[in-house]
Amino acid sequence: MRESLATSPAPVTARALLTDAPAALGLTVVAGAPGLGRPITHPRIQKSGLALAGHMVGVVPSRLQILGETELSFLETLPPDERARRVRSFFALGLCGVVVTRGVPPLEVLVDAADTLEVPLLSAAERSSGTIAGLHAVLDRLLAPRSSMHGVLVEVHGLGLLLVGPSGIGKSECALVVVERGHLLVADDRVDLVRVGDRAIGSAPMLLRHHLEIRGLGILNVRDLFGATAVRDESAVDLLIELRSMGEGDAEIDRLGLDDETTEILGLAIPTLRIPVHPGRDMGVLLEVAARNQLLRRAGHHSARAFAGRLAAGLGLKEG
């Protein structure tokens, strides 16, 4: 396995959550707007019933707190003074955010505490179960390990190919060739990576999305040139291909394809190939074949090893 790429934690706040949460959640700010910059560091929310009952042990301020129908109905059973005291004690823990579900207007005591202590108080249209599921999905992605790297990401035969190599080696030209052959551009120049489960997902920064820089032609809008079906906003990174000048590091290039080399990206082992580049070499065909061969390997058919096995058997040698 080759060296790993550096990762960096993603800072997440209630403000970022409002931007990324799906519209179906109906997430809006009710009170405590000055606290929208408080950090959220945990991908799982916390139900706050015990805290409202006076048991504050276990409350993690950097986790979003959920108040559903049960919690609100409990608060309404309390005398006004006691209700205000418990809510204030809860909010005084320095919470990163409190979400009231079912689109119910929050109790005035919650609004007052949120504004006084600058704790974001949010309202969600969904019931508690749907809100929790939706918030978990958003937070899983926002808090996932992230990294960025110089390269080009294209999708060929459904596989994400991450092209890396020195500046001027022809990464963008390779992308243009495969797009012209009917495949998809995801990112050029800078690829932003995020780990989602057991996959590394790559995308382009918003300002660079759908654009490709080709020396001599300038900056091209691939979507305008080839249509909406020629681009994707993101793709999994299934295969890393390092482009090299012909003759550079020839000893490191696997001529038989027997070894399964990988590069660590965000803690994941990404299959890796080194392909030499020189004038006249049809890189479009090579990248298509690399993708097809990777699909075969995923299906359990390793052409090079199968050939080596037949060769060894024909020579009367033991394989391996």
Active site residue 189: yes
Cβ atoms 148, 200 nearer than 8 A: no
Q: Which of the residues 115, 189, 199, 274 is marked catalytic?
A: 189
Q: Which of the residues 127, 150, 281, 301 is marked catalytic?
A: 150
Of 284, 310, 48, 26, residue with least CA distance to 175: 284
- Taking phi over 0 as left and psi of -120 to 50 as alpha, with beta for the rest, 257 belongs to left
Q: Which of the residues 81, 215, 255, 318 is marked catalytic?
A: 255
Q: Which of the residues 83, 171, 195, 211 is marked catalytic?
A: 171
Active site residue 255: yes
- The span from the CA of 160 to the CA of 234, in Å, is 9
- The span from the CA of 189 to the CA of 172, in Å, is 8
Active site residue 209: no
The single-letter code of the amino acid at 249 is: G
Q: Annotate the chain with three-state secondary structure.
A: CECCCCCECCCCEHHHHHHHCCHHHCCEEEECHHHCCCECCCCCCEECHHHHCCCCCCCCCCCCEEECHHHHHHHHCCCHHHHHHHHHHHHCCCCCCEEECCCCCCCHHHHHHHHHHCCCEEECCCCHHHHHHHHHHHHHHHCCCEEEEECEEEEECCEEEEEECCCCCCHHHHHHHHHHCCCEEEECCEEEEEEECCEEEEECCHHHCCEEEECCCEEEEHHHHHCHHHECCEEECCEEEEEEECCCCHHHCCCCCCCCCEEEECCEEEEEEEEEECCCCCHHHHHHHHHHHHHHHHCCCCHHHHHHHHHHHHCCCCCC
Active-site residue set:
150, 171, 189, 255
